[in-house]
Chains A and B, each alone.
Chain A
Amino acid sequence: MTSIRSRGVSLAKLNPGTRGRIAHVARDLTGCAERLAVLGVTPGAAIRVLQTFPGIVFECDQTEMAVEREVARAILVDVE
């Protein structure tokens, strides 16, 4: 149970209003993780979910951004 918590919950599963910190951003061949990183989506950054439909909108640190569900799945959050 603790191990699951420390690895965080996928951003795609969180409800609007949820706050937390980025635990991990899964890397793949598309370079998504790199693009997210330069926008400030890196482990430790504060995150707040704003909207989950039709796309996922969240605020990370001081940047508001929108991503598609597949991208949100790669972002793991430690919920506060």
Chain B
Amino acid sequence: MSCHVAAEAAIAARTPPVLRLRAHPLKIALVGNPNVGKSVFFGRLTGRYATVSNYPGTTVTITSGRALVGAEVCDVIDTPGVNALEGMLSEDERITRQLLSEGGAELVIQVADARNLRRALLLTSQLADLGLPMILVLNMLDEAHARGVSVDATRLSETLGVPVIEAVALEGRGIAELKHALPLAALPRAARHHARDHFGWADATAARYRQISAISIGRFQEWLGRAVREPVTGLPILAVVLYLTYLFVGVFGAQTLVGALETGAFAGYINPAATKLASFIPVAFVRDFFVGEYGLVTMGLTYAIAIVLPVVTTFFLVFGFLEDSGYIPRLAIFSDRLFRAMGLNGKAVLPMVLGLGCDTMATMTTRILGTPKERLIAITLLALGVPCSAQLATIMGILGGISVWALLLLFAVVLAQMVFVGFLAAQALPGDRSHFILELPPLRLPRIKNLLTKTLLRVRWYLGEAVPLFLVGTALLFVLDRAGLLTALSQAARPIVTGALGLPADAAEVFVMGFLRRDYGAAGLFRMAHTGELTGVQAVVALTVMTLFVPCVANLLMIIKERGVKTGLAILAAVTVIAIGTGAAVNFGLAVFHIGF
């Protein structure tokens, strides 16, 4: 009897889970080394878009989505990239391991870069120990062939005892085959099966089934790769990249497009029309709520759509292009020494540059850093100095119109402040920094379709997240204004705002707006600058304070989520003091040296 049960259990164990009766959808996890295209598969299988970029660490959270495979409903789970599931693990690797070992997935699709079979098999071997049936996908076969790498998938599949699928996910090749192979998923025969260690087995197996012939193409890529990472050519290239970004975002976006929308569409048509429409409202209070000085349309909507949206859109386009090209991680080579002075290493360039997109997202990306100390420093610097896309937008919009030197001064002050604070934090905080070891993704020409999808989704995210907050912020200002609190607040802040910073008293309310969203506050400054309420020097001082000032509510909440309430409040307090102090110092310095813009 027991024998019979055992035999039945053995059959059940061999039967793929897809064919068993289940009460819930089959949970399939996409697992693999960083930057091998897991998110592309996720998109292809579920029809949902997960951000796809060309650098390790794009996916920092576990995302799941429904997929229909044949008649089966499956839950596909996208996981952050992992290099190992045993030994010393990063935070990402722990999250993925936990998901797999605690029943979060019933089947694993391991996505591998076909070129890097050795590293992939190391992971296969460790996955085998977790006891989940799996399929191995060799992705980016086109790039592997271009580099002269070929893999004998048939024989590899025989050896492992699991299906091995050849794929080029970006072109959709291999997706149908993968779906067909799902019922054949099985436990791989890897190191443990042969009583060997993971490394030895992966080495030997990769050597047996992979052939590397002379590299046929890729000379241009190699040349370009060298040009961007050697300092002699790389630094001028960086300067050109920054200048082109400025031209596209700061001039075309912040001046041409904003001009067309603000003075053209809003001041010319929308606001007069709204005012006309509102004149039918008999109550002045309600009328002002929509079209007054702090009106939902005349202020909230104008700021969100006319001032910030064009610049955010142009910025996301440039940013997406840089992300997909594989250029950003290469900046780590230049910046490693600078970051080391701040208790970090070159890898920190990723969260810092991503912070230019959105500080809240970048706060999550700090998980790729090695130690708790590094994460704390990086999060603080993001909150302190890195302007997010929308804020950068308004900065460029305001200072671009005044003088390039004002813009450069602002960046120099903010950067110097970050280095200084980072340096102090590195000395004061306990703990170590980790060594700089960074994998460089291949340089690629970005695909227009991915670039547009990504930009569109980010713009939609901006509209969904920022516009409501802009409107809430405007309503709040309206209420504060009517209750007389705004005047009281401006009075209370007068010693700091007009005294130390030398700004008009009205600027106090802009800082209140800045706490809701930095870009909302910056948009307020933008309007003050446009209507001539701010001089060049005042604009620089106000923007310095705003840039260094408290992060937006969303970012603060994310910091608290990642690091706790105490750390969050400490960062908030430190950042506020530093922001006002630096603003006062800049104001004083400019006055002493009689510098004007």
Q: A-side interface residues toward B, CB under 8 Å?
A: 30-32, 34-40, 42, 44-45, 50-51, 53-55, 57, 61-68, 70-71
Q: How far is the CB of B349 from chain A (nearest CB, A)?
A: 11
- B336–A55 CB distance below 8 A: yes
Given contacts A51-B229, A54-B333, contact A66 B84 (CB under 8 A): no
Given contacts A57-B229, A66-B333, contact A71 B439 (CB under 8 A): no
Interface hits, B332-378 → A, CB 8 Å: 332-334, 336-337, 340, 345-346
- A64–B337 CB distance below 8 A: no
A residues in contact with B495, CB < 8 Å = none
Q: List 16 A-B pairs, Cβ < 8 Å.
A: A30-B434, A31-B88, A35-B83, A38-B84, A38-B87, A40-B118, A51-B229, A51-B230, A51-B333, A55-B346, A64-B225, A65-B438, A66-B333, A66-B336, A66-B346, A67-B438
Q: Size of chain B's interface in residues, with CB distance under 8 A?
A: 36
A residues in contact with B147, CB < 8 Å = 62
- A57–B333 CB distance below 8 A: yes
Given contacts A35-B88, A54-B337, contact A62 B116 (CB under 8 A): yes
- A57–B116 CB distance below 8 A: no
Known: A66-B332, A68-B336. 14 other contacts (CB 8 A): A34-B87, A38-B83, A39-B437, A40-B116, A40-B118, A42-B199, A54-B334, A57-B229, A62-B115, A63-B116, A65-B437, A66-B229, A67-B438, A68-B345
B440 at the interface (CB under 8 A from A): yes
- B84–A61 CB distance below 8 A: no
Contact with A along B105-140 (1 / 0, CB 8 A): 000000001011011001000000000000000000
B149 at the interface (CB under 8 A from A): yes
- B119–A63 CB distance below 8 A: yes
Report how far A62 CA is from B231 CA in the complex, Å.
Answer: 24
A residues in contact with B434, CB < 8 Å = 30
A residues in contact with B432, CB < 8 Å = 30
Number of inter-chain CB pairs below 8 Å: 94
Q: How far is the CB of A70 from chain B (nearest CB, A)?
A: 6
A residues in contact with B229, CB < 8 Å = 50-51, 57, 66
A residues in contact with B119, CB < 8 Å = 38-40, 61, 63
Q: How far is the CB of B420 from chain A (nearest CB, A)?
A: 22
Report how far A65 CA is from B440 CA in the complex, Å.
Answer: 5
- B83–A39 CB distance below 8 A: yes
Report how far A70 CA is from B434 CA in the complex, Å.
Answer: 11
B152 at the interface (CB under 8 A from A): no
Q: How far is the CB of B89 from chain A (nearest CB, A)?
A: 10
A residues in contact with B203, CB < 8 Å = 42, 44
Q: How far is the CB of B201 from chain A (nearest CB, A)?
A: 12
Closest to B437 in A: A67
B residues in contact with A65, CB < 8 Å = 437-440
B435 at the interface (CB under 8 A from A): yes
Closest to A70 in B: B435
| Contact of A35 (CB < 8 Å), options: B122, B149, B334, B437 | B437
B226 at the interface (CB under 8 A from A): yes
B residues in contact with A55, CB < 8 Å = 332-333, 336, 346, 436
- A32–B435 CB distance below 8 A: yes
Report how far A56 CA is from B208 CA in the complex, Å.
Answer: 30
Q: How far is the CB of A51 from chain B (nearest CB, A)?
A: 6
- B337–A37 CB distance below 8 A: no
Given contacts A37-B199, A42-B203, A54-B333, contact A64 B149 (CB under 8 A): no
The 8 A-B residue pairs with the shortest CB-CB distance in the complex, in nearest-first order: A38-B83, A62-B115, A68-B436, A38-B84, A64-B440, A31-B88, A55-B333, A34-B88
Closest to A74 in B: B435
B residues in contact with A66, CB < 8 Å = 229, 332-333, 336, 346, 436-438, 440
Closest to A42 in B: B199
Report how far A37 CA is from B226 CA in the complex, Å.
Answer: 25
- B437–A32 CB distance below 8 A: yes
